[in-house]
Each structure stands twice: as C-alpha cells, then as structure tokens.
Chains A and B, each alone.
Chain A
Amino acid sequence: MLERFIARLPAVLLLVVILLAVHVAVFEAEDDARLLSVAPAAVLLLAYLGSGRRRRGR
C-alpha cells in the first residue's frame, strides 16, 4: 500500500499543485478566470495518469 503510494507521488504532488490553485481561485479570490492557470497542468496530469495505466497494462 505504502509502496504504491510512493510510486504515485509525482501524480499526487501534481494534483496538490492543482488543488492549491483551484482553492485559491474558488474560495480565496472568488475569480473563476484564475482556473485557466490550472488547465495545462490538469491536461498534463491526465496524460501522466494515462501513461501510467499503459505501463501497468504491459
């Protein structure tokens, strides 16, 4: 379990970065336009998760 968590840490860290910015945009600044800064990182996270699924599927 812990091994699997450690193996997924890059995705977890990227998700935390995204959540920090989303929290600021939604709750602190209340400015939805700031969510645009998250879009490229979210696409990157999805691509990384997709490649992880392919790696495990081999």
Chain B
Amino acid sequence: MSGLGDLHLSPDLFGLVVAAMVFLAAVHAYTKLSPYFCTCWFGAGLVFGWLWSDRPEEASAILVPVLVFYIAAAVTKGLVETRERLAGNHVLHVVMTGVFSGVIALPLESGARVMGWAMPAPALGLKGLMDGPVDPDLLGGVPILVLVVWVIAGTVFYGAYKLLDHSGLPAAWRTVLLFVGMPFLVQLVDGLADQL
C-alpha cells in the first residue's frame, strides 16, 4: 500500500507543483482583482524571476519569486482589510509584503536544501555570504541572510508595483515602466544583498 511517505518530491515534481500553483494564483488575481493586474503582476514577476535567478533554465527558479510575492501580497491585503487603521498605509503594506515574502519563502528554501529543488538562489552562497547571526538550524537549515534577501526582493518588487499603481500615469505607461524597470529592480535587490 502506498502512502504519503512513498511520495518523492523530486525537482521535476516540484517544478510541476509550482507551475500549478502559479496558474491558480493567476486565476485568483484575474477573478478577484482584474485581468490587467493579473497580466502585469505575473508578466513582470516572470521577467523578474528570470533576471534574478542564477538558474533560468529551471522553471521553478523563475516561477517561485512571483508566486511567493503574490501569496505575500494577498495575505497582506487580507490582514489589512480587517484593520481599518492600517487600510491606507501603503508603506506598511509594502513592508508587510516584503516580510511575508521571507516567511513564505523560508519553508521552500528549507525543502530545496534537502531535495535539490531549483530556487532562484539570488546570488547567495555564490558570493560567499556567511550564515549570519542566527543559527541556520533554528530556521530549518536556512541562513537568515537568505531570508533577508527574500524580504528585500518582496519589498522592492511590491514597492515598485505600488508606486506605479499610485503614480496617476495611464495604464499603458505604467505597464511599459513596470517591464522596463525590472532589470533595475533586480540590480537594486542584488546591490542591497551585497551590502549584507
């Protein structure tokens, strides 16, 4: 008799799961927000993931960032909606989304270290970053600096989207600027990560 214990979450299967999750997230964005938001968020997020990842040949490495940022933004929206005093604080929304990006990426990073799943691995390890002040064992084997980079990435990505969203520019210009800005956002994230 086969059970959950027999299921092997290989990197290929992980890629399939992540692809399905991105599809479902896009369905949520399309139906609950707007087709425009869905197209811009996931289009820009995929470009961001491709540029940010050091393994762009792996689907999951490209897909994971946009998925993590979307879940984080959706959870932030859900939490903020029930607290009226937080409703109009856009800076807080952006920061919360960044922090939640780290929280959501943490289990995936932990699993990736065991299973060899392809993650963006945003320049960490390759640039000789150390574990940081917190024992990685307390975070499921993930150095805290990895977490901090995810927080930075989520904050920068959502911050840029929010900034354009409230810029008052026509939708066409916002779209162009969002896509043109992606390489600069990735550079900004990498630059901030280098300061760690």
A residues sitting closer than 8 Å to B (CB atoms) are 6-7, 9-10, 12-14, 16-18, 20-21, 23-29, 31, 33-38, 40-41, 44, 47-48, 51-52, 54-55
With both beta carbons as reference points, the residue of chain A lying nearest to B73 in the complex is identified as A10
24 A-B pairs with CB atoms under 8 Å apart are A9-B28, A9-B74, A10-B25, A10-B74, A13-B24, A20-B17, A21-B107, A21-B110, A23-B7, A24-B110, A25-B110, A27-B5, A28-B114, A33-B137, A34-B114, A34-B140, A35-B140, A36-B139, A36-B140, A40-B103, A44-B75, A44-B104, A51-B79, A54-B82
Q: For the complex formed, measure the closest distance between the CB of A40 and the CB atoms of chain B, giving whole angstroms.
A: 4
Contact digits for B62-76, partner A, Cβ 8 Å, 1 yes 0 no: 000001000100110
CB of B89 within 8 Å of the partner chain: no
Which residues of A lie under 8 Å from residue B67 when comparing CB positions? 13
Which residues of B lie under 8 Å from residue A23 when comparing CB positions? 4, 7, 9
**Which among A18, A41, A47 has the highest number of chain B CB atoms within 10 Å?**
A41
Interface SS, B side? helix
CB of B170 within 8 Å of the partner chain: no
- The complex places the Cα of A29 from the Cα of B67 at a distance, in Å, of 25
Which residues of B lie under 8 Å from residue A40 when comparing CB positions? 103, 106
With both beta carbons as reference points, the residue of chain A lying nearest to B27 in the complex is identified as A6
Of A6, A12, A24, A36, the contact of B114 (CB 8 Å cutoff): A24
